[in-house]
Structures are given as structure tokens and as C-alpha cells.
Chain A
Amino acid sequence: MTDMIQATINGLPVEVAPGVTILDAARQVSVHIPTLCKHPDLDATAACGMCIVRVAGSSKMLRACCTPVEQEMEITTEDPEIIQVRRTVIEMILSKHPNECLTCGRNQNCELQTLAADFGLREICLDSVVPDLPLDATTKAIVLDPRKCITCGRCIQVCQQIQNVWALSFLQRGFDTRIAAAGDINLADSPCVRCGQCSAHCPTGAIVEYDNTQEVWDNLLDPDVYCVAQLAPAVRVAIGEAFGFPIGTNLTGKTYAALRRMGFDAVFDTNFGADLTIMEEAHEFVKRFTTEGSVLPLITTCCPSWVDFMEKFHDDMIPHFSSCKSPQAMVGALAKTYYAEKMGLDPAKVYVVSVMPCTAKKFEIIRSKEMASSGFWDVDVSLTTRELARMIKQSGINFPAVKEEQPDHLLGAYTGAGTIFGTTGGVMEAALRTSYFLLTGENPARVEFQKTRGLDGVKEGSTVIAGHEIRFAVAHGLGNVETVLRRVREARDAGTEPPYHFIEVMACPGGCVGGGGQPYGVTDKLRAKRAAGLYQDDQAGLWRCAHENPYVQKLYEDFLGEPLGEKSEQLLHTSYHSRPEYRR
């Protein structure tokens, strides 16, 4: 075992493993060092200069984020001179930053604003030199305002290293450095897959979600419009963070109630759609698994950023893709057909709003003509968790005090399998539960598949069902997907047995609980807590397998017929197209 390193921070003794930085060591002893560029998910880049500290024996100040603690180091993190230097750093940043806090998407949620407040800045001694750069809202999913960028580089690290998308980069240098889409074009024309991880990691309002709240209010106001909402799995365990609840608190019932209070005529649950997705996808999997010569592995397609990524960069995988639409799209299609029919509504007047942890869902709802399978756009608008939180606050609803309600069951009842869709591994686990049933005629004795769980970037495992070994892989964070795909291609090129039968992919680290549209401040610790909230919801449920959902059964009896049947194919399935024009 390597020797631990002993040092002191502001006189407090601290013991750390070799390589631990001053910044992390300080956290260990509850000493706060401010930083604007370092994020727990990302490598230190020493970009902002806020975290400077003093080390006895060294004449210059050092950046805590990228300086490892050394034996016997005496570190000082706060003295008048350090504070003066930090103040100058903030003033320099603010001299280039527009003074638009009141109308900024990050108002009261901004790391720069918080720091400026902590420092009590009352005036900036430097002349204002805000760059004149245009806003880019071309993706209609995320909005890039390069004027508000403090060039910390977090978004670039996420986009290039974690997601391997390479849509964002710095252009020019020095004072003129600016954030831009690759090659200085519109984001919509870049490799961007709209995952929104840039927005989730940005410390300021330079990258935020595209705001659709006003059009939702406009429709809620219109008495002729029948507004329905659907709530994605991961939203219920994250929305509470905007209202002071402990991370991971499941607020399903309160969110249904708040949506009705805001004026929605019916409230559905995307978890119902998740159960339905599993019905279709498990049938699709079992059909391929049991039919000689079928294309395997089957790859999940609930994640729109992943679909976009695959169409742009891995189009040879299209035959492996499940044709199932995402749960959001399925609920949308059924709201304007099945539900409208049952309730005697004119589908032209049904307005479907989805609440998603995701910025890419805003793109998914118009990604192909199959998203209008009801004869109208199946989902009219997709909001992020952050937008819903803002709407609840605008309404003046006392969210913590709201009494829990039930969903509209026709498209609202759900099982544990549906709820775990919101975390990495959840789709695979839910699919395995129902595949087990389809192959054996009974439910698995243990419905939990532990190997699909946790935050490892690539999870692999196998399970034996009715004497057949099913090998699966789960990947999250788009950079990790390529590891899995490489193995599939190697086997394909060598003409050997595929390494897996079934692959689940979610673009965001942690899956949807860590989605690009979720409340800010995401770390692995927080992702794990949100996921735990979903696993608890699963465990507490009456049914834990998608095929047990009585309202899904009713839907097939009354309307769809059977999984993969004609009507299901028409409303619940989609296709994919190669788009090589977006080169990385």
C-alpha cells in the first residue's frame, strides 16, 4: 500500500492518498475553495483561476484544482491577499459578462452570480467589454449564448471527452476565445446530438435549454384545447431539488397534482409508455432471439440523443436498432388515438405536453414523420424538468404542501419496470423481466438483475432463461457506447458469435436521472441518489413486470390487438436513416 500524505490546510491536519489535489483535500476537511471551472465529473483545466491558494515555502500562488498535495505541505486557502486576487479574477470575468441576470435562464441558479454575491461586489473597476456574439437557438433544444461564456471549458470537455460528440469547441485565443459549434457553424448543422450535458455542466447561462414554457401557458389558457401532460420516469425523483426536497425524493403524486392545478385536463405517466415499450421491445427481442438468422444484438432506442448519434456516426448499426418508439412518443400517439376515442375527444384539440429530464426529447418529437402517427404531431411540446419547476413556481403553487393525486389511469398506471427506465440499466432490467415471462410463461423468481445496475460506464452480464444464455451489455455516456460497438463489430467482421444479444444505451452519464434537462449540480453521488429513488419506487409497486400492467393489457384488448400487430406497428414503431452529412 502506498504511503498516505500528511499535510495541513489552514492549520487543520489532513491525510490523503497520493495524487489527491488540494481542492479535494480541502473538501475532506470542510474547507471551501471557490472554483468556476472544476466540476467533479471532469478533469481540472486550471482555466478560471479562482481556486488559488498559498503553500508555505512557495512565493507564487497555486491553483488548488490541479496541484496534488505533497508531504508536509502547509496550505493556506484564505488570507486578505488571496481574497484580493480572487476578487480581481471575478471582476475580470464580469467585465466580459453581460449584466442580464434578471432575465437569464440561470437567474438564482448561476455559479458566477452566486460567487459575485458571496464576494459582495458592488462595482466593477474595469471597463465593460462584452463581446458582440450572436445567440444560437437553431437546435430548438439547447440555446448557446457565447456572450455569457466564461471560457471554463466544462461543456467542451463533456461534449468531446465524455460524449465523444465533438460538437463544441473553443475558437480563436486569448481575449478573443469563444465557444462555438465545431467549425463555427450553427449548432443544428454540427454533430450536436442535443443531449444537453453541456447545459447541465455550464456554470452560467451560456448554454441553457430551449424554453417552451410560454407556448404551454398559451395552450393552457385556451378553453378549446384539451391539454394533457405526461411525466417521464426520471423527473419524479429530481424535481424536488428545485423545492428543497432531499435528493432522490419521489414526488410522483405531487407532480400529478401540480400539473392539474396548472390547468392540465388529464395527467398521464410516461412510465405507462415505458411498460408498453417493454411489451413491444421484449416481443421484438424474443422474436429475434428465437428466430434463426436474425440480426443480434438488439439495441434499445428510447434515448433520442443515442438515436441521433447512431444515425450520424454508427449507421452500420441500424439493422440492430429496435424499431420501438420511445415511451414519450408512444404515450403521445395513444393520447391522440386511443384516449381521444375513449373519451370522445377531437384529437385535433388534444395538446400533448411531455415533461422530460432531457433536452433531446424536444428534437425527438419532430425527428421523423412517424412522430405524427396519429395524424397530428403525437407530442406537441416537450418540457425539461427545469422548465416544469419554473412553471410550478410561476403558478405560485406551494409544491411541498400539495396533496398527492393519482394519474389518469388509461395512460397513467405503471409498474416497477416502467419506473426504472429512468436510470442506466433500467430498460435492460425491465426487458429481461418480460423476456423471461415470454420465454418461460412465468415471472422470474427474482425480478432484480443486479448486473444492470450501478454507475460503471459499461456493464456486462448474462442470465440463463429457459436453458438459453442471454448476454447483455449496458452503456451510458456516449463515449462508453463505442467500446461496446467495437466489440460487436469485431465479432461481426470475424464472423464469430456476437458478444451480446441485447444492448441498452443511454446517452447521458447515469441515464435519464442524469439527463441534460434535470436540475443543476449533477455529480455521480447525486445520480446514484436519484436512481435509488426509482429503485425504491419499483420495489414499492404492486406490479414489477411490464406485462402485469392491467391498463396495458386493457389497451391491447380494447385497441391495439397484440404486440407487434398491425396497429402497434403503425402507432408504436419507427425507422432510422443514415445521416452521414454530419461528420465529426
Chain B
Amino acid sequence: MTLTKTDEDVAAIAKRWKNKRGSLIMALHGLQDRYGYVPREAAMSLGEQMDVPLARIYEVLTFYNYFRLKSPGKKVVSVCMGTACYLKGAPKLLDQASEELGIRPGETTADGEFHLQVVRCVGCCGLAPVVTVNEKLLAKVTGESLEPHLLQPGATEDGKA
């Protein structure tokens, strides 16, 4: 068998967890940490190297919300729905993001630019409502201040490129 790049990436993870009972979830965490999601080829390679059927891997991957099966996109927009943010209007921000990006929470835009998700408390309730875009934290967000972060790269605010 010729080894692909994926096989080599996966080998270290598989080696660490193989033969340890109940370690499939940890190995899958390893894949998600490596790729930002669990690519199908990586799951297949892991299955082969750990001797776990692909069917079992997908049972686990789809059982837990944490695992992503698709690349999360270049910009991950996380809307905090913790109590403070929720009371300060987070649901409206989520609706706005969902509508403007044309995806539901947990989904990625077709062009792979945006991924929208809900998180529970990012630990700065004093700044509520909070939205993060990748590593960047937006504080006391309003519909207006969120708007520019939901635009396609290169687009201006009136929607023209």
C-alpha cells in the first residue's frame, strides 16, 4: 500500500490510541484538532490503522455534536448564547447572521468562506452580547457592528464588489 499524506498524518494519532479500549473518541478528537474537522479520508485511514470499521466511526462522529464532518470555513462566526448574551439580544444577532450568510447554525457556506455556530459563554459576560470571528472577539455587538464581519472578502457594505 502506498501511503498518502493523510495516512501519514493519521498514523501518529492511530499509534497513540490503538489497542487502548474506548479510545476511538480521543483519536477522533485528534483528527479534528489536526484538520479543524474530520475529513472522510482521514476517518477511513484511521479506521484502517486502528482496525475499526468506518460504520462505527461515523456512528460516533454523528452521535456527538462536537465533531464536524465538513471544513468549518475560513471565518468561524460564533455567536454566544450564554445567559447574559442571550438577554442582551444574542438570538437576534444569530438570526441576522443566519439570514445574511444563508446558512443555519452548524453549517458552512457553499464557498467555504463562513461557518456559523452557537457557543455557550466565552467568559466575558460584561461585554455581552459577544460574537467571535475566528480568534477575534467583538464586544457589545449590535446589528450594525456585526454587519461588516458577515461580508464576503472584497465586498463593500452596499454589497457591491
Contact = CB atoms under 8 A, between A and B. Distances in A.
Given A583-B44, A583-B47, A183 B63 contact: no
Q: Which of A166, A182, A583 has the largest count of B CB atoms less than 10 A from its CB?
A: A182
B58 A183 contact: yes
B55 A160 contact: yes
Nearest to B62: A171
B70 to A, nearest CB: 12
- Select the residue from B48, B55, B58, B62 with max chain A CB neighbours within 10 A: B55
A169 interface: yes
Given A160-B53, A166-B53, A584-B53, A182 B48 contact: no
Contacts of B44: 183, 583
Interface string A440-462: 00000000000000000000000
B55 A183 contact: yes
A167 B58 CA distance: 11
A49 to B, nearest CB: 20
A170 B63 CA distance: 9
Nearest to B45: A583
A172 B54 CA distance: 15
Nearest to A181: B55
A491 B55 CA distance: 31
Contacts of B58: 169, 171, 182-184
Interface in A136-180: 160, 166-173
Contact of A169 (B40, B43, B56): B56
Nearest to B51: A584
Given A160-B53, A166-B53, A583 B48 contact: yes
Nearest to B53: A166
B54 A182 contact: yes
A184 B63 CA distance: 13
Contacts of A172: 62-63
Interface string B47-84: 11000011111110011000000000000000000000
Given A183-B40, A583-B48, A166 B56 contact: yes
Contacts of A169: 55-56, 58-59
Interface in B1-59: 40, 43-44, 47-48, 53-59
Contacts of A191: 54
A583 B58 CA distance: 13
Contacts, number: 42
A314 to B, nearest CB: 15
B55 A168 contact: yes
Instruction: Say which size band chain A's interface belongs to.
Output: 10 to 19
Nearest to A581: B44
Nearest to A582: B54
Interface string A377-395: 0000000000000000000
Nearest to B58: A183
Interface string B113-130: 000000000000000000
B14 to A, nearest CB: 14
Contacts of B43: 183
A179 to B, nearest CB: 11
A320 B53 CA distance: 26
Contact of A170 (B47, B54, B59): B59
B50 to A, nearest CB: 12
Contacts of A583: 44, 47-48, 54
A200 B128 CA distance: 57
Q: Which of A170, A173, A584 has the most CB of B within 10 A?
A: A584
Interface string A544-584: 00000000000000000000000000000000000000011
Given A169-B59, A583-B48, A584-B54, 13 more contacts: A160-B53, A166-B55, A166-B56, A167-B55, A169-B58, A170-B59, A171-B58, A171-B62, A173-B62, A182-B55, A183-B44, A584-B53, A584-B55
Interface of B: 40, 43-44, 47-48, 53-59, 62-63
Interface of A: 160, 166-173, 182-184, 191, 583-584
25 contacts: A160-B53, A166-B53, A166-B54, A166-B55, A166-B56, A167-B55, A168-B55, A169-B55, A169-B59, A171-B58, A172-B62, A182-B53, A183-B40, A183-B43, A183-B44, A183-B54, A183-B55, A183-B57, A183-B58, A184-B58, A184-B62, A583-B44, A584-B53, A584-B54, A584-B55
Task: Give the 10 A-B CB pairs with smallest separation, nearest first.
Answer: A182-B55, A169-B55, A166-B53, A171-B62, A166-B55, A183-B58, A182-B54, A172-B62, A584-B53, A173-B63
